[in-house]
């Protein structure tokens, strides 16, 4: 989570495991589903192309040779407030490879709420978590029940 004056962004760094380079175009979305059923859609600020080591996970040498990317998504203050009382269930990220779903682990849910509170109070940057994909799904996004 990033804040510069009154502008908020969600910055995600991720990779999809071994494979070829990929890109995230300006306007590509990330869907966030909360445990209470509320869904939030955010859009990327810029077009970004992946590079090796772009989403390294500490302690894993594999990330140094895996194509990853770091993307900023616009976040309004109302959307930011939506994070405060809601726990994230899963996230769907769209890219040139289609989309991938990531289930948010229980121990990370409380960290997200703490991060938002810190961000609003005084911080300019707060790291929510480091996470590796658990479920990759590239079927048609409109056919499932996200």
Distance (Å, rounded) from C-alpha 114 to C-alpha 128? 8
Contact criterion met (CB below 8 Å) for 51 and 63: no
pLDDT, tens only, 120-144: 666 555 555 555 554 555 566 556 5
Instruction: Grade residue 52 by pLDDT with cuts at 50, 70 and 90.
Output: confident
Residue 12 has, within 13 A of its CA and on its CB side, a CA count of 27
pLDDT of residue 85: 72
Average pLDDT, stretch 27-51?
91
Distance (Å, rounded) from C-alpha 18 to C-alpha 138? 15
Distance (Å, rounded) from C-alpha 76 to C-alpha 3? 11
Does residue 89 register a pLDDT over 90? no
pLDDT, tens only, 61-79: 776 778 888 899 988 888 8
Does residue 50 register a pLDDT over 80? yes
Residue 131 neighbours by CB distance under 10 Å: 17
Give the residue with greater pLDDT, 56 vs 19. Answer: 19
Domain boundaries, the chain: 2-121
SS (H, E, C) 95-120: ECCEEEEEECCHHHHHHHHHHHHHHH
Distance (Å, rounded) from C-alpha 113 to C-alpha 115? 5
> Which SS3 state, helix, strand or coil, does residue 19 take?
coil
Strand order in the sheet with 2-4: 2-4, 7-15, 67-75, 51-52
């Amino acid at each position: 989570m990033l804040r510069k004056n009154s502008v908020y962004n969600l910055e995600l760094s991720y990779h999809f495991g071994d494979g070829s380079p990929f890109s995230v175009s300006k306007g590509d979305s990330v869907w966030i589903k909360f445990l209470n059923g509320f869904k939030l859609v955010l859009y990327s600020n810029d077009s970004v192309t992946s590079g090796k080591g772009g989403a390294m996970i500490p302690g894993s040498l594999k990330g140094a040779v895996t194509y990853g990317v770091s993307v900023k998504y616009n976040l309004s203050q109302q959307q930011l407030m939506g994070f405060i009382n809601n726990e994230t269930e899963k996230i769907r990220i769209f890219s040139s490879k289609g989309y991938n779903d990531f289930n948010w682990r229980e121990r990370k849910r409380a960290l997200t709420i703490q991060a938002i509170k810190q961000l609003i109070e005084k911080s300019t940057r707060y790291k929510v978590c480091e996470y590796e994909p658990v479920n990759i799904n590239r079927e048609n996004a409109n056919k499932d029940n996200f």
